[in-house]
Chain A
Amino acid sequence: MSLKSYIITRIILALPMILILLIMIFFILRIIPGDPVLAILGGKAPVEVIEAKRHELGLDKPIIIQFFDYLGDVAKGDFGVSTLTSRPVWSEIKDRFPATLELTIFSFILALIIGIFWGAEAAWRKDKAIDISARVYSIFIYAVPVFWLGLMLQLLFGIYLRWLPVGGRLSPRVSLDIKTGLFLLDSLISWNWEAFWDVLKHLLLPGVTLGLVISSIFLRMVRNNTVLMLSKDFVKAAKARGLKPKVVLYGHALRNAFVPIFTIMGMQFALLLAGAILTETTFSWPGIGSYLVLKIKYRDFPAIQGTIIFFAIFVVIISIVIDIVNALVDPRVRY
């Protein structure tokens, strides 16, 4: 099977998965307590108003009919209209998503840098201080809840030291032309250094919080796999040939350690989105995670469903990309 047909198969296989997810989220939302109409209008609205709103939202139809109506719309690419804001869900998600993407990419890169360099050096000097500290760090950070870490960093850098803002993406006084929605990129494109600096300052706390949490998993993975690879004969052979130690470590051991790490990273990306929900809420980051939390509060069914499907599609795309990169990098992987 060629890579191309493998990718097509993967996409086709992802469709039933998304459908099942859709069914689950659709019915669970309607089973759990809470009524979107009451959430919007409040408990004291007259009965007629409530009934009118319910009819308007189509919630007075039987659930099965509602489901097939929704499914038909989704098949046409229409994710409905938010019950809270009356705006199309898809465009709301599109507005919010770049913020999450920026946060995730920043955290991911930070986690990679910490994980790779610290992990590789820890493996090289196994059981020395650098390795023991890496192990303690990764267990500690892994055990700490994201929001707690976020709150502590806010307290330290935002409240006591007053170095960094505790929330938001951009100070209201700073103006920025938004093109991609990734503010760092936008400010760079327009050579707007004031905005770039401001965006970076806003990004730093949530980015570091999320990045540290993910780095703990990377660090352990990189360290353990590199330790394993360093014990292999081909690494000794490279050393016996007279290769410089750093090249042995980064060129031979780490490179081979990377296959499983890469796969895990793809899965971590999904977890990263979950972490983003907590981080975004802590830092009032206007991304898709805080969007989801807000919409759950108001029982905004179409918005919640749309966001979940969006997450699912995103994760599927990431995992396919990871597979493609794996196939390109590793000569042993054939589809």
Chain B
Amino acid sequence: MSGLLLEVRDLVKTFGAGETTTHVLRGLNLRLEKGELSALLGPSGSGKSTLLTILGTLMKPTSGRYEMLGADMIGADDAELTVFRNLHIGFVFQFHNLLPDFTALENVIFPTAVREGRETASARARGTEILVRMGLVDRVDFPVAKLSGGQKQRVAVARALMNRPELVLADEPTGNLDRASAIQVMDLIAEINRDEGTTFLISTHDDKIAATCRRQIVVGDGRLTG
């Protein structure tokens, strides 16, 4: 699988105004091809999380251009971006960010159920299938509050894959896990990327995690430096 997935040009993001203005992104340019497994590296405050948030359409840049799958992400309104995000982008957060009052399966199928207005049998089948692949066959109907950190993060990865998105954005997905769990999660990501061609952009501080990715993108002072 190849071809352009997304492209950002001259991306600028500032927070605050006047003397308190903080320039987080200063004209950043980036292209991601379909099927990439990329690590996003950089020191704290370099703009990695802000870039992921903008790429995830959860925030708009101050200026610049952003196109994904040929669609303009800057001009789209909130409702259009919500639908686009649901269909094409998956998220994995550092602290898993699951819905605590729901089971593992309910969390996984949320992106589909919220679009279809109900939990269909096919969604449940798909959700179960991903959870099995994540090694959580005996945790399908467990409340997520009772899962370990590593298990929660695997549920989060499963949820990100539920709608078969073209892009999964992972912000420090192993940052809160022990080494064994981190390796397990990264192995799963690599497997999904290889088997299904899903593009992953993984923000990390961990050089060993970054080394498992085929491309390393380095952000510094609001721009790509490598």
A and B interact: no
